[in-house]
Amino acid sequence: MTSFTTSLVFFAEMLTVAALYRLAAPRLSARGRHGMLIGASLLFLAQLDAHPAFLLATLAYVAVAAATARAMRSGALVIGAAVLVLLVFKYRTYTALLTGGLATLPGLSGFEWLGLSYMTFRTIDLVVQAKRGGKAVEPLATAAFLLFFPAYVAGPINRFLPFVRDVAAAPERLNGDDLRAIAVRLAGGVVKVLLLAEFFRANSPIGLTSTEGLDPATILLGLYCQFLYIYFDFSGYSDVAIGTARLFGIALPENFNFPMLSRNLQDFWNRWHISFAHWCRDYLYFVLLRWLRIRARWLGDVGANLAAIFTTFFFMGAWHGDGLNWLLYGLYHGAGMATLVVARRLAGPELSERLSASRVFTAVSVAVTLSFVSLGLLLTHPLAFATGAAKALVGL
């Protein structure tokens, strides 16, 4: 995923294209800038190591989305179609479960559609914002937004309206401080991906096949290493994406904010994969919570909140991977967040404030949160491995 975007070829091409875009942008209309961004994105997407039909399928998807947004079709229909495409091409196990095994989709088993889930999130945001605005969306703006290459493969998940606002005006001239900040961001991303992430991956003492001979301390160390590997790899890619977009005058949202310092699980999800967590908050949690408060008043405020939390985290777990272990991963985090909500309610605001002000409590909370998140990574492994590791941890 990140090998191309941390290569010298990528940086040479990207800097050249960004310079050409900045030279041309002041002389172009917004449509012209969208068109130039589409061309730049296609140049880079064509170089990804993907299925031969990847680019054709992506262009077909974008063309349909652009035409639909232009015609202002039913928002629910467009969102439903986008989710269906995502299920068919990325989540074949879930599709088979939902159809009772009728749809095994053997013909698509070799097609891995890079960036499809992120493009789905952007499509939903695009449709919702278009419906709220009550007007058709310019097709070139739709295509430029969905194809924007820095964030295409693995985010951050940017939103349609800020993207359009950024492109509407020519990029502001970069001064020395701007260039220095971008260079530090890009270099930091490369260091994270190629050095720090690889260090923790190579030195993790646990594998994916067997827990035989591993003691609890070794398993815990391996899980901490896995957490740090994922953090440095993913946040490094995000740094490269954010720095690259800045060169084109486009602001991508921050995606990580030192999640290893999180004081609780809510704080963690405000620091980890922030663009994804906030997208789920806006389009799942808040929507479901409002619906439950109106349609299921018997649940009460706490019940509606817990139901919305579990449903949101169930989806978040399902999104991460195609298997039962990922559903359990989502429920694991849902249970953790629900416990936090109930504990806060039982403690009351005064006790909660006193505990938050305690340095000792904060240090313990950070350690517990990091351990909770790291232990949950067992569920990202095959269930047989996770079960064996769990038994070893509890001494069974």
User: Where is the domain boundary, 124, 142, 168?
Assistant: 168
Provide CB contacts within 8 A for 21, sequence distance 6+: 33, 36, 37, 40, 171, 248
Examine the pLDDT at 254 and tell me if it is beyond 80: yes
Q: Which residue has the higher pLDDT, 271 or 51?
A: 271
How confident is the model at residue 70, as a pLDDT? 67
CA 342, CA 51: separation in Å to the nearest integer? 47
**The total number of structural domains that make up the chain:** 2
pLDDT tens, residue by residue, 258-295? 999 999 999 999 999 999 999 999 999 999 999 999 99
CB atoms within 10 A of CB 53: 12
Q: Are 167 and 144 in contact (CB under 8 A)?
A: yes
Helical segments of 321-382, H only: 324-357, 359-376
DSSP 185: H
Chain mean pLDDT for the chain: 89
| pLDDT greater than 90 at residue 49 | no
Examine the pLDDT at 394 and tell me if it is beyond 60. yes
Say whether both 38 and 158 belong to one domain.
yes
Spatial neighbors of 179 by CB under 8 A, at least 6 apart, are: none
C-alpha radius of gyration, the chain, whole number: 22
If asked whether residues 35 and 162 sit together in one domain, one would say: yes
Asked whether residue 12 is assigned to any structural domain, the reply reads no
Q: pLDDT > 70: what percent of the chain?
A: 92
Sign of CA dihedral 32, 37, 38, 43: positive
pLDDT greater than 80 at residue 71 = no
What pLDDT is recorded for position 310? 96
Specify if 318 maps to a domain.
yes
Residue keyed to tokens 């035989």: 212
Same domain, 291 and 163: no
The whole-number pLDDT of residue 150 equals 95
Round to whole Å and give the CA distance between 208 and 307.
33
81 occurs within a structural domain? yes
Q: Which pLDDT score, from 0 to 100, does residue 56 have?
A: 93
List, for residues 342-369, the tens digit of each pLDDT value. 998 888 888 888 888 889 999 999 999 9
* Domain membership flag for residue 5: no
Per-residue pLDDT reduced to its tens digit, 2-38: 566 768 888 899 999 999 999 999 999 999 999 999 9
Kindly tell me if the per-residue pLDDT of 84 is higher than 80: yes
pLDDT score, position 134: 67
**Which of 240 and 51 is assigned the larger pLDDT?**
240
Domain membership flag for residue 357? yes
Please report the pLDDT score of residue 1 as a whole number.
Answer: 43
pLDDT of residue 94: 84
- The Cα 106–Cα 111 span in angstroms is 10
The answer to whether the beta carbons of residues 293 and 301 sit under 8 Å apart is: yes
Q: What predicted TM-score, i.e. pTM, was given to this entire model? A: 0.92
Tell me the C-alpha distance between 269 and 291, whole Å.
23
Residue 58 lies in a domain: yes
Q: Tell me how far apart the alpha carbons of residues 105 and 99 are, in angstroms, rounded to a whole number.
A: 11
Residue 264: C-alpha distances to residues 56, 273, 343, 347, 372 (Å): 44, 15, 12, 15, 10
Does residue 388 share a domain with residue 272?
Answer: yes
Residue 183 placed within a domain: no
Supply the pLDDT for residue 124.
93
Domain that holds residue 163: 29-168
Domain end residue (candidates: 136, 168, 200): 168
Q: Based on the domain organization, do 151 and 277 belong to the same domain?
A: no
Looking at per-residue confidence, does 8 or 248 come out higher? 248
Q: What is the pLDDT of residue 101?
A: 62
Is residue 309 within 8 A of residue 337, CB to CB? The reply is yes
Q: Which residue in this structure is represented by tokens 């068109």?
A: 35
DSSP 233-246: HHHHHHHHHHHHHH
* Confidence band of 308 (pLDDT split at 50, 70, 90): very high
Residues 269 and 369 grouped into a single domain? yes
Question: Does 117 fall in a domain?
Answer: yes
End-of-domain residue from the set 144, 168, 192: 168
Based on the fold, state whether residues 266 and 380 are members of the same structural domain: yes
